[in-house]
Every structure is written in C-alpha cells, then in structure tokens.
Amino acid sequence: MPRKKRPEGTRRPNGASTIYEGSDGKWHGRVTMGVKDDGTPDRRHVKRKTEVEVIKRVQELEQERNSGQASAPGRTWTVEEWLRHWVEKIAAPSVRFKTLEGYRNAVYNHLIPGIGAHRMNKRFTAEHLESLYARMLAAGHSPGNVHQVHRTVKTALNEAVKRDRLTKNPAKVAKPPRLEEKEVEPFTPEESQLLLKAAGNRRNGVRFKVALALGMRKGECLGLKWPRVNISCEHGCEPHCSETSATKCPQAKWTGSLRTPRQLQRRPWRHGCPDAHRCGSAYHKTKPCPKRCARHKKCPPVCTEDCTKHAARCPDRHGGGLHWVEVKSDAGKRSVPIPAPLVRELFAHQAAQEVEREQAGDLWRDEGWVFAQPDGRPIDPRSDHNEWKALLAEAGVRDARLHDSRHTAATTLMVLGVDHRVIMDIMGWSSGSMLKRYIHVSDEIRDDVAGKLGGLLWGDK
C-alpha cells in the first residue's frame, strides 16, 4: 500500500521523526532525541538499505527516548574507549592505589583484549562477557581472577549508565563462574599460646603478638609509630612499695591503647625511561621453566613480545618502595585497647629498641617506627612474611596466613561475649557483613552449646 502523502502546505509537528528515500538510493531517518549540552536539538540520523529497516530503527530510537534510556549524543564509543577513559580519568583520581592497580590489570590485560572492539550499545550483551569469562577459565585463570575482572567491568559500566553512555549494564545480568571461598580455620587457644611463646624469643616478636591479640592488619602493624601508641604503668599497691619504677611493682597497673590512622604499603616501581621494553630487555623471560623447576615455587610466565615489566631494574624508576598511607576506610581509623600483658610486652620492646638505637649510633634513622630494622628503618612486608613462616615452623603450628590471626582475634572476641558493635569498632569494620566473614564457630563452641542445652532440657550435668 503506498504511503499517504501529507496535504500540500502542511508540515510535520516539531520533534516528529522523518523517514525518506535519499538521492543515494538508500533510506534515511531523522529522530529528535532531546537537546545537546549546547542547547541545540539532538537529531539522530539513521541510514539503511530498505524502508522497513529504517522504520524499525527509528521506532527503537523513539522507544529509548520515551523511556528515558537514550544514549548520549555523538558517536557511540567502543568498550575499549570507555574503559580507558573510565580507569584513567574517572577512577584514577578517586580510588586508592591498590584498587587502581587491580582496575588497570583487569582493564588492560583482560577486558580490552577480550571485549574492547564492541560498541557501547544494545548489541553489547551479557553473553559477550560470559564468553570472555569462559575463555579466561580455559586459559588457566582462577575463578577468583575472573571475579575480579567481573567486578571491574560491572563498576565501569555502572558509571557508563550514569553518564548516558549505555542504556543498561550487561554486567548486572552476566553470571561469573562459581567462586568457592577457601575455608578459614582460626588458630585454637592452644595454637595461639604456642605462637605467643615462640614469638617471645624472636626480635620484634611482639609484632605477631599484636596481630594475634588485636587482629590488626599487616600494614597497620608495620605502619605503627610510637606517637600513636599510648602505654602507661602505675603503682597498684597501697601504700606504694619500695620500687622506684612502677614497672617493677608486683601489683602494677598496665594500661594502653593505640591508633591506626595509617599503614605501611609496598608499591611496585614504574619505568621512568622513554622505552620500557628496551630497558628491561636483559631481564625478559623468553623460555618457560623446565617441568621440575627447582628455582621457583610458582614459575612466572614467559614475557610477551611487548613486555614492559622489570621496572625495578630501571635506572630512572619511580613511585615504588614503601609508602606510609591512609588506611582503607574511616572505620579503619580507630582506637584499639591493649590488654595488660601486651602492654608489658610493648614496654620491654621499647626498652630493647633503645638499646639498638645506642648500638647503631649515627646509622640509626629516627623515624619513630614501633617495629623497625636494627638501624631504625621500617620492616619490609616481604621480610615480615618470611618471619611469620619461620615463627610457625618454630612453634610447631600448622601453616597458615598471617591474616588468619585477624580471623582468630575476631572469633576470640565473640567467644568472650563481646557485643558485635564493639567487635566491629575494634576490628575497624563499617559493615556488619564482615562479622560473618571473620567470626567462625569452632567445634569447641558447638560442644559447649550442646552441653548447656543438655543441662537445661535434661538436667544433664
């Protein structure tokens, strides 16, 4: 049926869509979507081979406009263009260093090579993301690594939706692979006592006692400075005993607390030279390790053809090394009470550090670190990790992460009947969901509950 022509001398209303056949033999459509930033009409152009195709696309644009889901005017960005803009211009100035490093790793190593060529439109779907996840798993990446990529692209595309670069976020629909969390087993009271005993024989051993008793993170412990630690000792006898120093009083009152506004963090080095690939050429790994490699615990992969790593070897390196930075959240900036036995340990540790200061003489770097090297410099997190593993072996305790001591401290507070709000304050949490992650119900606790239940209902003593 031929199209009905508008009466001569009349025109379509303002904002109405237009469909016509051009002199180039193709069909065109014009749709008013709104107003641009400069106030001019946002008029979109559609060109197709047939009239039916143009009508369909015009109707889609009108539906997007009427539902308030129209994309921003201008050329549609590719996923790669948006991810680069998001990570460098939006995320970089607003997130922490470690978070940004994770974003950049996901964006440049996985997302851009995997889905970067797609346009930011309705044709970019959840299936494209799920296909990327499947390829990553097939290439040997762990589910945890895939989840990190999924969280990154979800955050990036959420921002794109807010800025009208995308109408819907396909990452909200995409399903990442199942992630099985590793079961954490806190140290038992017996294991904790063995560790405390072994730590007493080691230099800076009180550092691990602080971790076990207070559940402080590694960076928080290593980033402690003496002005942040408030410890005191007073006579507890009446009248005062003959001891001139309260620390020697048999009934001394030991009190203390510490504040954790900052932490020590190691950051990777960056190349300062113009050609990063050439700078590290002498250190590129070109061949894989043999099957029975005795050199590495986990063999590193072969370097790519355009490898720009090995920045630690660069003569103009910058940005790396140890940094004293703010803790992750406002909840992490907290005051933590110190139990009396640990206060005594800190007093002894402070006295031992004064002896080291005198022995080091001019070599001592007075930076105020609570846990320091023999010359006063801060302790490297890598050395701290090795010291922890050596402590586990000396105490005869099963191998575990240092972070498991944080789980142990939280669980201990729960066993002692401390209110959940107080536990959150001591541990530096702002979300109650962290309680479920860090507090564990052991078999001893279950047995104790069963015994109390039996005594209440059956009178079983």
**What is the CATH number for 150?**
1.10.150.130
Torsion on CA atoms 320, 220, 193, 452, rounded to nearest 10: -130
Report, as an integer, the average pLDDT of 13-18: 75
51: in domain:
yes
- Tokens representing 276 are 């990063």
Residues 35, 99 within the same domain: no
> For residue range 118-145, what is the model confidence (pLDDT) as tens digits?
998 878 999 999 999 999 999 989 999 9
- Asked if the peptide bond before residue 341 counts as cis, ω within 30 degrees of 0, the response is no
Q: What does the alpha-carbon distance between residue 380 and residue 372 come to, in Å, rounded to a whole number?
A: 9
Give percent of the chain with pLDDT exceeding 90.
Answer: 54
Block residue for tokens 């050429």: 281
Residues 207, 339 within the same domain: yes
307: in domain:
no
Residues 207, 167 within the same domain: no
5: in domain:
no
Residues 198, 159 within the same domain: no
133: in domain:
yes
Residues 235, 356 within the same domain: yes
In this structure, which amino acid lies at residue 407?
H
Burial 304-340 (b: 16+ CB within 10 A, else e): eeebebbbeebeebeeeebeebebbeeebebebebee
Question: Pick from 405, 421, 452: which residue ends a domain?
Answer: 405
Length in residues, the chain? 461
Residues 94, 165 within the same domain: yes
Residues 100, 153 within the same domain: yes
Residues 207, 100 within the same domain: no
Lowest mean pLDDT segment, chosen from 52-66, 119-133, 210-224: 52-66
> For residue range 252-280, what is the model confidence (pLDDT) as tens digits?
888 999 998 899 999 889 899 999 999 98
CB atoms within 10 A of CB 53: 15
pTM for the whole thing?
Answer: 0.76
399: in domain:
yes
Give percent of the chain with pLDDT exceeding 70.
Answer: 94
pLDDT of 410 higher than 80: yes
* Angle subtended at Cα 33 by Cα 31 and Cα 35, rounded to the nearest 5 degrees: 125
Report, as an integer, the average pLDDT of 376-382: 94
456 or 46, which is more confident: 46
Say if CB 260 and CB 220 are below 8 A apart: yes
Q: Which helix (H) or strand (E) holds 231?
A: strand 229-234
pLDDT of 406 higher than 60: yes
> Mean pLDDT of all residues in the chain?
88
304: in domain:
no
318: in domain:
no
Residues 36, 93 within the same domain: no
The parent domain of residue 85 ranges over 79-172
Lowest mean pLDDT segment, chosen from 108-117, 138-147, 440-449: 440-449
Residues 93, 193 within the same domain: no
Distances (CA, A) of 383 to 62, 368, 370, 373: 63, 19, 16, 10
Residue 361 sits in a domain whose CATH number is 1.10.443.10
Residues 62, 84 within the same domain: no
Distances (CA, A) of 332 to 129, 222, 438: 35, 15, 16
Block residue for tokens 């990777």: 268
Report, as an integer, the average pLDDT of 152-179: 92
Residues 40, 91 within the same domain: no
Q: Total structural domains in the chain? A: 3
433: in domain:
no
Q: What's the pLDDT score for residue 1? A: 43
User: Which residues are CB-contacts of 240 (< 8 A; sequence separation ≥ 6)?
Assistant: 249
> For residue range 290-337, what is the model confidence (pLDDT) as tens digits?
888 888 777 888 888 888 889 999 999 998 999 998 887 787 789 999
Block residue for tokens 């993170």: 217
